[in-house]
Chains A and B, each alone.
Chain A
Amino acid sequence: QSVLTQPPSASGTPGQRVTISCSGSSSNIGSNYVYWYQQFPGMAPNLLIYRNNQRPSGVPDRFSGSKSGTSASLAISGLRSEDEADYYCATWDDSLSGVIFGGGTKLSVL
């Protein structure tokens, strides 16, 4: 069971806005940056959001991240079929002194 809690699944229709939550605690999300990774079947994860809300070059601005207290969220606006993937949140945990990941959310575009 992951220290960071994500919903196992999320869905939306093309053009909709979808949010994926990631819940942690004061020793991880509450005091450190949050990262989001996107993973397609059979592929390695790919960085989507870093330091809570920053997008690497090449990531569309349809993807945005936010953090409040001990929770974080990934929002995807203008949903597209190619957004169908698994999404993972990650952060540093001060108690573990290491990186922890959420359990992942499978996004379906209906």
Chain B
Amino acid sequence: QVQLQESGPGLVKPSQTLSLTCTVSGGSIRSGNYYWTWIRQYPGKGLEWIGYIQYSGSTHYNPSLKSRLIISLDTSKNQFSLRLRSVTAADTAMYYCARGGYYCSTTSCRLDAFNMWGQGTRVTVSS
């Protein structure tokens, strides 16, 4: 049974960089069948897709975060990570990593269902 587990600091100061890691167990992150994804949930409950990385290293980010965001992969540790720089209070949220399927047409590929989620890690941006 594949499991995902987020880790990282729960408190980050404004203007600093938020770094989180998702460790995948029970399966290989090298599987080409999934998009490894970050999603966050604000205190008011709203969910926001952050971005994903494929086994090949190819990434796709939410345009609203693209200028501050890097998602990377460490296959030797079966992990993928998120780095979000210049954080503000608006980045305070529960951060989830998730495994997403995908489907492709003749012109593009799109995320399919998020069929596995980590338990989430709460991040507060405050001085």
Interface residues in B43-79 (C-beta closer than 8 Å to A):
45-49, 51, 60-63
- Per-residue B-contact encoding for A30-55, CB less than 8 Å = 1, 0 else: 00110101000001111100110000
The complex places the Cα of A104 from the Cα of B49 at a distance, in Å, of: 14
Q: Given known contacts A98-B49, A99-B49, is B120 in contact with A92 (CB within 8 Å)?
A: no
Taking a contact as CB atoms under 8 Å apart, the answer to whether A92 and B113 are in contact is no
- For A104, give its contact among B45, B51, B118 (CB under 8 Å): B45
Q: Kindly report which residue of chain A lies nearest to residue B97, judged by CB atoms.
A: A44
A96: CB under 8 A from chain B? Answer: yes
Interface residues in A49-106 (C-beta closer than 8 Å to B):
50-51, 56, 86, 88, 90, 92, 96-101, 103-104
B110: CB under 8 A from chain A? Answer: yes
Q: Which residues on the A side are within 8 Å of B63 (C-beta)?
A: 96-98
Interface size range on A against B: 20 to 34
B11: CB under 8 A from chain A? Answer: no
- For B96, give its contact among A32, A33, A44, A96 (CB under 8 Å): A44
Q: Which residues on the A side are within 8 Å of B62 (C-beta)?
A: 96, 98
Taking a contact as CB atoms under 8 Å apart, the answer to whether A103 and B46 are in contact is yes
B106: CB under 8 A from chain A? Answer: no
16 A-B residue pairs with CB within 8 Å: A35-B113, A44-B96, A44-B119, A45-B47, A45-B117, A47-B114, A51-B112, A90-B114, A92-B110, A92-B111, A96-B62, A96-B63, A97-B60, A98-B111, A103-B46, A104-B46
